[in-house]
Every structure is written in C-alpha cells, then in structure tokens.
Structure 1
Amino acid sequence: MAEKRCYTVKDLQEMLDVSRSTVYKLLRQNEFRWIQLEGGGYRISKKSFDEWLDKGNASVTS
C-alpha cells in the first residue's frame, strides 16, 4: 500500500491530541498547505504538516 500524501482533520486531531475546532483554527491560520474538497472535507499536505511539526515552533491551543 502506498504511503499517504495527505492527512484528514481527524488524523491531525489524533496526532496533536486537540479538538476539531483547533485543527480548523490551524487551517484558517494557513500553518500548512491544505485543500477543501467539493463535499466540504479537507485534506492537509503530509509534507507541509510534517515540516511544520518538525520545526518545533508550532503553537497549538485547544
């Protein structure tokens, strides 16, 4: 099976142990690259998110 190239909002919730609204706040702040699907779902670039997280200067508040 191929490695994922994107994450879902639920993926980020679980990885960061934050609320759904906190993930949406990060999306609005353009902390990393994402797209909105026609049905309303979001997909977050794995590479962009992983780079943001690896920088270590990420500030997340629930």
Structure 2
Amino acid sequence: MSQAAKCMQRDTPESRTYTVEDIASMLNIGRTSAYNLVKEGHFKTVRIGNAIRISKKSFDEWLDTLVI
C-alpha cells in the first residue's frame, strides 16, 4: 500500500470519530446517558443527517479530565 493510501486510510472520518454507541460501550453506560453527555456539550460533535459523531480527540481530552 502506498504512503498516500495509508494516510488517506488513517484520516478517514470514521478513524477520527466515535459514535454515541461507541462512547456508551466504552463508559459502560446506556445509550440515553451517552446522548445526555452529548446534549450537555461535554465534547465536540458533528451531526451528519441523523447520525451524531463525536471527535475522538475531544472525547479523549474530556475523559482525561475525569481520571484521578
């Protein structure tokens, strides 16, 4: 695979975002609670049609603030 193809594959929107279901699973919480975190604005999100995507960087930074 060429270097350009590797870069394009690495930088796909899917590789830079989580779904609400992803964060619910990672945090071991329900979907409703995960949607509430999104609604409260704890991390940067993008809405594409009906789908919500959460910035991995923003989510990871938010999570780091919670870790003791």
TM bucket (normalised to shorter chain) is 0.7 to 0.9
For the pair shown, the structure with the greater C-alpha radius of gyration is: 2
For residues 1-52 of structure 1, what are the alpha-carbon distances to aligned partners after superposition, in whole Å with 9 as ceiling and x for unaligned?
Answer: 52621000111011000000001100110000001111x0110000000000
- Between the two proteins, what is the percent identity of the paired residues? 41
TM-score (ref. length: structure 1): 0.82
Deviation at 1:54, TM superposition (A): 0.5
Match of 1:26 in 2: 37
Of 6, 14, 17, the residue aligned with 1:6 is 17
* Residues paired across the two proteins, number: 56
Task: In structure 1, give the amino acid aligned to 2:21.
Answer: K
Q: Structure 2-normalised TM-score?
A: 0.75
In structure 2, stretches of 5+ residues that fail to align are: 1-8
Give me the whole-angstrom Cα distance separating, in 2, the residues matched to 1:10 and 1:27: 11
Higher RCO, Cα 8 Å, sep 6+: 1
